[in-house]
Chains A and B, each alone.
Chain A
């Protein structure tokens, strides 16, 4: 029973264009969502987060949108850069899960020069 789903295993975009990474969740008790970037053989690096009281959070080139009614969030990267090429994990947590993170399977983003 996968509570956090990233249905696209991979995404390829051109440098300078927008990358949109999607994530769906099923547990309505989740109230905090995070995106991580991960290179091979390294731990995840935190990118951006959003609380369920908001529907948008922006940090530089990264923007996360949350649609609670659809239980859907997305990460927008604009403009995309070749250095953004990595696996992106969506993660969720909540009071009900004692702040443990539940991760999606990740989306491999490739930004082509």
Chain B
């Protein structure tokens, strides 16, 4: 159980463009979605938390207008990096859970902005 599908696994985009990352919980309904990112040699850092049908809550220092999160259904959440810059290059990981419990992760998306 607790199968998570995240894609794309990697993406290269030009500076100024937008990139959408999808995260699906395949065999359970995720009421809560956590989005993390990891810079090289750094901790996994929580970016935002979203509950199905509600607006996401962003951590301090994370621009909500830049990182758009949509959690429209219990099995799908998306993270859109808008107007991407090279400093947004990172590894983005989703973590769907039921009511905040359970700590399963997607396989991650490596974003490179050139």
Interface residues of chain A, those whose CB is within 8 Å of chain B, are: 2, 4, 9, 34, 36, 41-46, 49, 89, 91, 93, 98-106
Contact = CB atoms under 8 A, between A and B. Distances in A.
Nearest to B43: A103
Chain B interface, DSSP helix/strand/loop, else mixed: strand
Contacts of B46: 100-102
Contacts, number: 58
A72 to B, nearest CB: 18
Contacts of A44: 44, 93, 105
Nearest to A93: B103
Nearest to B101: A99
B110 to A, nearest CB: 6
B54 interface: no
Given A43-B6, A44-B93, A99-B97, A105 B108 contact: no
